[in-house]
Amino acid sequence: MKKNNPKELVLNYFKGVDEENINKILKTLTVDCVFSIETHGIELIGHQEITGMFKRLWKNHKSVEHKEFCFINDPISNQVAVRFQVKNILHNGKIVFKSNCNFFTLKDGIFSEVRVYMAGENTLDKET
């Protein structure tokens, strides 16, 4: 298997988020990926729970955009950290800006774990 460039994989992941393309996102994640929002005590496991989270995000926003990425790659431990800016547009037109950090762990060339540190209100929730 061709080893993915962690930076390219992160950018593909966020492109999928911004384009509302769940298939693009899932191609970057193992089927048993653990996705946690560390700042809000939420953990999702696997494609089904992660898909539901993104569908709720997209339903609750007119658009989301991630930009201004700053990467720190740790090839020895198969991890990459990324700081970035988020611009969310709500259905009422209100714009919300955030500064977030994600930590990704790679396994077999894709992400087995995503840990999110989010400023402000949680926009990635778990179905209750």
pTM (global) more than 0.75? yes
Q: Look at residue 128 in the predicted model and tell me its pLDDT.
A: 52
Mean model confidence pLDDT for the chain: 92
Asked whether residue 24 is domain-assigned, the answer is yes
Q: Which of 124, 120, 19 is nearest to 64 (CA)?
A: 19
Q: What is the pLDDT of residues 64-84, one digit of tens each?
A: 999 999 999 999 999 999 999
Asked whether residue 82 is domain-assigned, the answer is yes
Task: For residues 40-55, give the mean pLDDT.
Answer: 95
CATH number at residue 61: 3.10.450.50
How many structural domains is the chain composed of? 1
pLDDT bracket for residue 1 (50, 70, 90) = very low
pLDDT bracket for residue 92 (50, 70, 90) = very high
Asked whether residue 83 is domain-assigned, the answer is yes
Residue 17 scores a pLDDT above 50: yes
Asked whether residue 71 is domain-assigned, the answer is yes
pLDDT bracket for residue 126 (50, 70, 90) = low
The sign of the dihedral angle between the CA atoms of 41, 6, 14, 47 is negative
Asked whether residue 111 is domain-assigned, the answer is yes
Residue 123 scores a pLDDT above 60: yes
State the residue range of the domain holding 74: 6-117
Ranges 36-40, 72-76, 108-112, 119-123: which has the least confidence = 119-123
Asked whether residue 126 is domain-assigned, the answer is no
Asked whether residue 67 is domain-assigned, the answer is yes
Please give the share of the chain, as a percent, with pLDDT higher than 70: 94
Q: In Å, what is the CA distance from 59 to each residue of 13, 21, 91, 96, 123?
A: 19, 13, 9, 16, 11
Asked whether residue 53 is domain-assigned, the answer is yes
Q: Which of 74, 66, 69 is nearest to 106 (CA)?
A: 74
